[in-house]
Amino acid sequence: MFDIVRMGTGISQVRRLAGEGNCNGVSPTDGPLPGYEALLASGALPVLPALGELLPGGLARGSVVAAGRWSLLCLALAAGASVAGAWCAVAGVPQLGVSAAACVGLDPARMLLVADPGTAWPQVVASLLDGCELVLLRPPGHAPAQVRRRLEAVLRRCGGVLVVAGDWDGAQARLLVTRQEWAGIEAGHGRLRARRVLVAADGRGAAARPRTQWLWLPAPDGSVGLADQVLSEMQDAG
Amino acid sequence: MAAHLTAAGVPPARVLVLWCPEWPVPPDPDAARTFEQVVSLVEDLCPKVEVLWPGACAIGARGPARYFGGEEALAGKIVEAVTGGGFACQAGIADGLFAAQLAARAATPVTVVPPGQAREFLAPYPVSVLDGADLDGEGMTELLPRLGIVTLGDLARLPASQAVNRFGVAGGIAHRLARGLDPRPLAARPPSADLSVSTEFDPPAPLAEPVVFAAKALAERMHAGLAARGLACVCVQVQAISEDGQEHARLWRHDGLLSALAVAERVRWQLAGWRPDGPRDPDGPGDPDGPKDEANLGGIVLLRLTPDQVVRAHGRQLGLWGDAVVSDRVARAALRVQAMLGHGAVTRPVPAGGRGPAEQATLVPFGDARDPERPPDRPWPGRIPVPVPATVCQDPLPARVTDAAGAPVTVTGRARLSAPPARMSAGGGPWLAITAWAGPWPVAERWWRPQTARRRARFQLVTEDGTAWLAAVQDGHWQIEARYD
């Protein structure tokens, strides 16, 4: 099926994130990072280099990014800001894999988790947005228009970014995993080593042009990297 | 009386300690609730009861003893009343709280140490009893026996200066305790300013959670007020007034100094134990099933904290946030959410060591100390390989895995599969064909402790829809531990 050796070129883009620590022995860097002041002043939160093609301007402050369903993609979207020193809150995801989050670049030392925001989740998210630059939310159901408008107003006021694991009408950017293939595992041997996903992005305004991108999500070391498109076409042909 | 006045100061007041040996340690809210009944029984006899922790309480013995005609009579009456209420208990009376606590434990059921004899009473006890006094004395009680100081008597014979020189403040306190004195010299005069703090709830707070949260902020304010005067409190009175005018006050003690979180926790216990109808008779009307739940409180309108016993502060930092990294902005947001949902609802993850996906992080409530239970920087042989799953089931999801013929797949003790897995269904969901799989990876954990030992075999499964699962077989049952979302 897959030849892990030939895929090396695609993996070469993988970057080491989140300090010196390896994937499981995370070494949180205490204190704001050097670029933190610049981050506070800029109009957008940075994204991981691998997502740069999909979100050219980063995550615009005050915007909502919908990421389909709960997956590693949501964590990858939040990771760029966390690497830059921002605080991230995760609401409504009790089953969050903290190690996986650390691997894609989220710093556990700058994370707040609200596993169950309950029925008052809009208020909880609004409070979290006051303190954190980025809030990753899995809403308990479809958000009514009134709730959405209120939260979007809070977003604009405090200049945060809301990453929604689910659907959000009127989101400024929308990312979706349309295909996924696991590498390294076959019937009875090998193990899960990496996953190649095709991510499609569209949105409104500056992000209106639809884009697609093959990504390693996760790459063999748990991080996020660009996957080789040529290889995927070869794969399709073969 | 003058015979036992020493150069070190007046002997401590007579204290009676009532100890219920059957109470669980550490205390849980339910235990605190039941203990409220014991305190009510004692309060019938003497008004000012100080709760040391759920399971033990103390009263000043001098006045009540005079009233009831002697200390033995007083202790006997209290033990009789509490035993009559259905609680096993023991009482001890001695000079000072420390000696009285030990006397209560020695009691069958009452021990009275005569005035001035606390030092002699304490002398045969090993120094390890000082551990119960919560002195912060880094390993002092382990070091003392190695220095040849085995009992409190040995310690009391040392010059006070030696104890302070070697062990600092904690040593000084330990030495005073061993001599049967109060651990800290009391503040010379009562504080002139009103150090109590209070907050009103308008509209009344019907649930305990917002009150407990407000208590945390109140406690911080109280500590700030005390700190500004160079004082610290050893005892705090928590007073709550409900909508219908009922008042509930309780003295809480914390050996050593109270932190804001510790105060809030005691407010929680007190509210959990408050029975607004106030019947003390377990058979009385209107109270068929013991304590009422908090919905019957009718709302709290006022909460007041009053520092009751004030001593000079010895310069211990009261850090609510152990972590300087947390900015005020983040702390405010987290506190606001905690006020809405409760202290444990906002957590910060701390990487921890472990083999399974669920063990690799501990969630610590915001504001608590962030010490991982298991160090993450150990090898943990047999842990799941990188990349790790993004979705970790809180409770493993029961699953069914069958081979091509539809028979359940089993794993032998020697990690041999009955047949290759072909189809799976997670948590009663639809059946999915398995396109790729790896395993079994046997894990035998903590075989040296039968209570927590477990043997399981892990698998990675990829199903036709492209989802990858981390599954495990334990005792013949398949479980989904995590998903590689």
For tokens 């689910």, what's the residue? A166
Strands annotated E in B90-207: 90-95, 110-112, 197-205
Residue type at position B45: L
Q: Kindly report, residue by residue over B361-384, the tens digit of the pLDDT.
A: 888 888 766 666 777 777 888 788
Residues of B in contact with A192 (CB under 8 A): 385, 387, 438, 460, 462, 468, 484
More confident residue, A161 or B1: A161
B188 touches A at CB < 8 Å: no
Picking from B349, B366, B460, the nearest residue to A98 by CB comes out as B349
Which secondary structure element, helix H or strand E, spans residue A154, and what is its range? helix A145-158
Q: Between chains, do B390 and A114 touch, taking CB under 8 Å as contact?
A: no
Nearest CA in chain A to B333: A131
Q: Which residues contact A154 (CB under 8 A, 6 or more apart)?
A: A125, A126, A129, A130, A160
Whether a cis peptide bond, with omega within 30° of 0, leads into B387 is: yes
pLDDT over 60 at A8, yes or no: no
Contacts for B251 with CB less than 8 Å, ≥ 6 apart: B48, B49, B50, B51, B235, B236, B237, B238, B308
| Per-residue model confidence (pLDDT) at position B272 | 72
Spans of all domains in chain A: 8-12+35-237
As beta bridge partners, residue A200 has A176, A212
Among 3.40.50.2300, 3.40.50.1000, 3.40.50.300, 3.10.20.740, what is the CATH number of A8-12+35-237?
A: 3.40.50.300
Cβ contact A98–B340 (<8 Å): no
Q: A118 to chain B nearest CA, in Å? A: 8
State which of A77-81, A140-144, B203-207, B281-285 shows the largest mean pLDDT. Answer: A77-81
Q: What percent of chain A stands above pLDDT 70?
A: 77
pLDDT digits (tens, 9 = 90+) for B442-481: 888 887 887 778 888 999 999 998 899 999 998 889 999 9
Sorted by sequence, the CB contacts under 8 Å of residue A152 that are 6+ apart come out as A62, A64, A170
At B289 the pLDDT is 38
Q: What is the pLDDT of residues B319-330, one digit of tens each?
A: 444 343 567 678
Q: Is the pLDDT of residue A206 over 80?
A: no
Q: What is the pLDDT of residue A94?
A: 92
Separation in Å, CA of B114 to nearest CA in chain A: 56
List phi, psi (to 5°) of B31.
-65, -40
Cβ–Cβ below 8 Å for A185 and B346: no
- Concatenated DSSP letters of A15-83: ---SSS--SSS--PPPS--TTHHHHHHSSEE---GGGTTTSTT-EETT-EEE-SSSSHHHHHHHHHHHH
pLDDT in tens, B405-435: 989 999 988 888 899 999 999 988 899 999 9
Question: Residue B231 in contact with residue B312, Cβ under 8 Å?
Answer: yes
Which region holds residue A24: left if phi is over 0, alpha if psi is between -120 and 50, else beta?
A: alpha
pTM of the complete model: 0.59
Cβ–Cβ pairs < 8 A, chains A and B: 176
CA distance linking residue B464 with residue A218, whole number of Å = 19
Write the residue in A30, A70, A131 that is nearest to B329 by C-beta.
Answer: A131
Question: How large is the ipTM?
Answer: 0.82
Least confident of B151-165, B324-338, B425-439: B324-338
Q: Is B375 an 8 Å CB contact of chain A?
A: no
Taking the Cβ of residue B9 and every Cβ of chain A, the question of whether any pair is shorter than 8 Å is answered with no
Task: Report which residue type is found at B303.
Answer: L
B391 and A97 in contact by Cβ < 8 A? Answer: yes
pLDDT for A34 beyond 70: no
* Contact between chains at B341 and A118 (C-beta distance less than 8 A): yes
In angstroms, the CA B236 to CA B254 distance is 9
Asked if the model's pLDDT at residue B37 lies above 50, the reply is yes
Q: Does B468 touch chain A (CB under 8 A)?
A: yes
Look at B388 and A97 and tell me if their CB atoms are within 8 Å: yes
Q: How far is B216 from chain A (nearest CA, A)?
A: 19
Domains of chain B and any CATH numbers: 2-178 (3.30.70.270), 197-283+293-312 (3.30.1490.100), 391-484 (no CATH)
Average pLDDT of every residue of chain A = 81
Strand pairing partners for A203? A173
Nearest-angstrom CA–CA distance, B209 and A234: 60
In sequence order, the 6+-apart residues with CB closer than 8 A to the CB of B15 are B58, B59, B60, B61, B93, B94, B95, B96, B97, B99, B100
Contact B409, B401 (CB under 8 A): yes
* Non-local CB neighbours of B448 within 8 Å, separated by 6+ positions: none
User: Quick one: pLDDT at residue B314?
Assistant: 58
Chain B contact probe: residue of A69, A72, A95, A197 with most B CBs at under 10 A = A95
- β-strands B300-312, B361-365 pairing: unpaired
Neighboring chain A residues of B344 at a CB cutoff of 8 Å: none
Contact A24, B360 (CB under 8 A): yes
CA angle A33, A38, A42 (to 5 degrees): 135
Partners of residue B392 in chain A, C-beta under 8 Å = 95-98
Instruction: Please give the structure tokens belonging to residue B402.
Output: 């069958």
Across chain B, mean pLDDT equals 78
Q: CB within 8 A of A132, min separation 6: which ones?
A: A86, A87, A88, A89, A112, A160, B330, B333
